[in-house]
């Protein structure tokens, strides 16, 4: 499904601050997998997501999606097949536009607009039916500007909007980190529901170790651009928070902390 092959990524090349984050990094994600990714700051989690989405280039190596080489494909082209939800709820929606306008934009992702209205009034009931299962009352606020919604409401919308059109891959970049615990639980339950119903291949970066253990079919722990834990199946089911913390402590001791 997704392949990262022999990836090299340098930051600040040619300067005294040059850093080689990925040195021959490779990763395969099978179709339908839900991969939870953990790791300390600077381990390469978000950089890996940015490389997959095309937000940053690589020095060498290749990225394949469904067998097609997308290494040099522009980010907006990749976005036709990849949905992404960010840590900041403000990044997934347009605050100055209404719920209806935001939903309409998401509904037309990858399509040509031409000289026609951006909002199709015939789709309003469809959007309301999509919003109703969220149990956040958004279906009755179609003409309310998204900027006036709570962070949880906006993140729920961002998650829904990112999966409205047919996509092959869902990227979740610490999408519950900016939310209060109760709202984060709601968003995680919604995430799991959408991933299962749409059978989406998913990568979720998270700092919440419980979410990493409880959700997903595979767990990856990264450190300095390398994979230090990679488990799935029964091994993933038997993994617990203490196992991850033990590895964190081992790494901390090795680094002299």
Q: 167 and 83 in contact (C-beta within 8 Å)?
A: yes
Give this prediction's pTM.
0.89
**How many angstroms separate the CA atoms of 89 and 153, rounded?**
9
Q: How many residues does the chain have?
A: 257
pLDDT score at 148: 94
Residue 231: closest CA among 219, 221, 241: 219
**How many angstroms separate the CA atoms of 205 and 87, rounded?**
10
φ, ψ of residue 55 in degrees (nearest 5):
-70, -30
Q: 92 and 162 in contact (C-beta within 8 Å)?
A: yes
pLDDT score at 90: 83
pLDDT score at 115: 42
pLDDT in tens, the chain (257 residues): 899 999 999 998 888 888 889 999 999 999 999 999 999 888 999 999 999 999 999 999 999 998 899 999 999 889 888 999 999 888 889 999 999 999 998 888 766 655 445 677 788 999 999 999 888 899 999 999 999 999 999 999 999 999 998 898 999 999 999 898 988 999 999 999 999 999 999 999 999 999 999 999 999 999 999 999 999 999 999 999 999 998 888 887 666 55
pLDDT score at 113: 55
Is 144 in a helix, a strand, or coil? coil
**How many angstroms separate the CA atoms of 208 and 184, rounded?**
10
Token pair for 244: 């991850």
**How many angstroms separate the CA atoms of 118 and 62, rounded?**
37
Give CA separation, 5 vs 93, 129, 167, 181, 232, in Å.
Answer: 33, 41, 22, 37, 20
Residue 222: closest CA among 78, 7, 13, 54: 7
The residue written with tokens 């390469």 in the block is 44
Beginning with the edge strand found earlier in the chain, give each strand of the sheet holding 34-39 in spatial order: 82-85, 169-173, 201-205, 34-39, 218-223, 226-232
């Amino acid at each position: 499904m997704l392949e990262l092959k022999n990836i090299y990524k340098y930051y600040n090349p040619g300067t005294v601050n040059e850093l080689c984050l990925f040195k021959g990094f490779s990763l395969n994600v099978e179709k339908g997998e839900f991969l939870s990714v953990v790791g300390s700051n600077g381990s390469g989690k978000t950089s890996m997501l940015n490389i997959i989405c095309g937000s940053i280039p690589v020095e060498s190596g290749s990225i394949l999606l469904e067998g097609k080489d997308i290494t040099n494909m522009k980010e907006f082209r990749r976005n036709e097949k990849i949905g992404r939800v960010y840590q900041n709820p403000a990044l997934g929606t347009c605050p100055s536009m209404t719920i209806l306008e935001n939903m309409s934009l998401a509904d037309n992702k990858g399509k040509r607009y031409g000289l026609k209205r951006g909002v199709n009034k015939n789709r309003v009931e469809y959007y309301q039916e999509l919003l109703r299962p969220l149990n956040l009352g958004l279906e009755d606020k179609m003409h309310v500007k998204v900027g006036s919604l709570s962070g949880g409401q906006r993140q729920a919308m961002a998650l829904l909007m990112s999966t409205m059109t047919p996509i092959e891959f869902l990227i979740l970049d610490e999408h519950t980190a900016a939310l209060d615990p109760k709202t984060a639980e709601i968003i995680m339950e919604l995430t799991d529901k959408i991933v299962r119903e749409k059978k989406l291949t998913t990568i979720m970066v998270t700092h919440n170790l419980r979410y990493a253990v409880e959700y997903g079919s595979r767990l990856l722990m990264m450190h300095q651009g390398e994979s230090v834990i990679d488990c799935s199946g029964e091994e993933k089911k038997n993994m617990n928070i203490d196992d991850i913390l033990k590895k964190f402590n081992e790494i901390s001791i090795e680094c002299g902390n």
